[in-house]
Structure 1
């Protein structure tokens, strides 16, 4: 079997699995809806209970699409960071975007109490949280971009991103120390992540940011392949390192920043999915890895969300807890199975 034939077969299989996971995710929940009725509802056919159609269209379908965007977006962000820094432990939040978003939400939720404003429920809403998270991510992103133009060493940017995370984490710790339990609980709930709070309108905005991020990633595919062999080799091929670095950082900022703003900081997906994809496809070519990461990230996130829903039960688990419990063992298994990463 030729490599192209094996790739086509692999893409066909994971595409079918992604569709099956998508339908399964929609059909399972506190009330289990039969597959036949789920499909009929999506196709506009007749179903046994009309209330099921409302549940699917208004709640479960947006949540399933959110899972697809979150899984694929974080997977692509992780792939970009691992290639840019040539570091297998780099993830989508290595530039400090998650910490910046956390700081924005912490200032909103925890800072209101320190300012003496009692009506916290008036100020803390879904959109105010999204706005605060976005501002925090954007400020960190702009800082990283500004520094990247002055620093020649790519690894220095990685260290600077980690330092941003430490600084913002310290500020959040100080705010948390002086904040009562009620306000602190609201911040903790946001940190746990959620896929089910988005309406179709919210999903439209998130999708727009996701599409722009993916387009920028596609534009960077050829330079990314060159960077796999080192910056000096890429320069000898005529690759503009500064331009490529800027493109990758902006794409990661759009993908990881918007996802964090709308769904909260989701752990381990961005770190685990690129490694799992390389192991399955035995390739480091981004023309292969990019669509594979999008599909595999969607599958893993849909599976995590299905587990978090605890089908036929009234309670749900925090999505961040599920992704950590699944993602961490996957990374450990990959490291044990194959010590040499494909870079």
Structure 2
């Protein structure tokens, strides 16, 4: 798609911003206990009373909604980077096995840590929230990234890197499957609950760490906007422009790894958002200019994750759906419709 000028779609930005604010307040209002939209808004601007609604909003729902914004932005930008690097419409932030590496790290702690790290301790610190689980996920992601870094020097093109990343994902998933086979049933259940993804239970210190990592990743992506635009014209053309392709490829992978590791470590592996949002944003803005696509993907990804969180809580009910189930229900149709409607 040609790099169309940004000015043609300037009117979309205020609409997206308003929708994002509305979804944010709505996410804080709805849940097992519904709070009036106006009351939630007054609480946010400091005009509400310090009652039970205040405690529900600021202690339970605000961290969850903020986590949704951060995770949605990270996954959407990561997916955009991978689709731009590989020229593959189905590429997502987990395509290089970084997400699988995080899952492997968690599996080693949860599934095989029954003796040295008791299941009682893991439950006490909060599965998916405790420092042990988060640290294991980050370590697993880092090890996979280092493997890709070493292999990148021996690979000639992005397609080879994509294949290697997919194979690394298969390898890590195979190890996790073996660990599940030899693990105890209750530990398998704990791991499966983590793998379903959840925004609940995070505190502000964890949100701060995740926000810093994601902020650095998105800032790095913006710094690469011009090289990414050139890369859309092909690696051969980029080489004639004097771009160091192998180094650029590694920078893109490194930034995507940071974005993916930050989200998977704290909320578990979340699917489809990173694949669907870049397609949706291109359809809305009718451009392939990364100066526009990167912030647009961040904003749209945050909106989609807030919408998924609202649906997952089944407003008015005590039940909470797995987040991955909701992202799949919303994300997959978006990708199908965009692919069907593609031209050229």
State the TM-score, normalizing by the size of structure 1. Answer: 0.95
Q: Matched residues in 2 for 1:118 and 1:63: separation?
A: 27
**Which residue in the other structure is 2:166 paired with?**
162
**Which residue in the other structure is 2:119 paired with?**
120
Q: Deviations over 1:41-98 (max 9, x none)?
A: 1111134x61111111111111111101111110000000000111111100011011
Superposition pairs of residues 74-153 of structure 1, within 5 angstroms: 74-113=75-114, 116-117=115-116, 119-123=118-122, 125=125, 126-153=130-157
**Which residue in the other structure is 1:236 paired with?**
240
Q: Confirm or deny: 8 A CA contact 2:314 2:320 kept in the other structure.
A: yes
Runs of 4+ in 1 over 6 A off after TM superposition: none
Residue 117 of structure 1, CA deviation: 4.6
Q: Confirm or deny: 8 A CA contact 2:6 2:292 kept in the other structure.
A: no
Cα gap change, 1:251 to 1:118, in 2 (>3 Å): closer
**Which residue in the other structure is 2:186 paired with?**
182
Q: Matched residues in 1 for 2:117 and 2:220: separation?
A: 43
Q: Matched residues in 2 for 1:87 and 1:172: separation?
A: 27
Residue 188 of structure 1, CA deviation: 0.2
Structure 1, unmatched stretches of 5+, are none
Residue 178 of structure 1, CA deviation: 1.5
Q: Matched residues in 2 for 1:312 and 1:20: separation?
A: 19
Residue 190 of structure 1, CA deviation: 0.4
Aligned with 1:218 (options 222, 231, 247): 222
State the TM-score, normalizing by the size of structure 2. Answer: 0.94
Q: Matched residues in 1 for 2:194 and 2:51: separation?
A: 33
Q: Matched residues in 1 for 2:7 and 2:262: separation?
A: 36
Residue 5 of structure 1, CA deviation: 4.2
Q: Matched residues in 1 for 2:210 and 2:142: separation?
A: 15
Superposition pairs of residues 285-304 of structure 1, within 5 angstroms: 285-304=289-308
SS of the counterpart of 2:10? helix
SS of the counterpart of 1:93? coil
**Which residue in the other structure is 1:337 paired with?**
341
> When the two structures are aligned, how many residues end up with a matched partner?
336
Residue 118 of structure 1, CA deviation: 7.9
SS of the counterpart of 1:89? coil
Q: Matched residues in 1 for 2:105 and 2:117: separation?
A: 19
Structure 2, unmatched stretches of 5+, are none
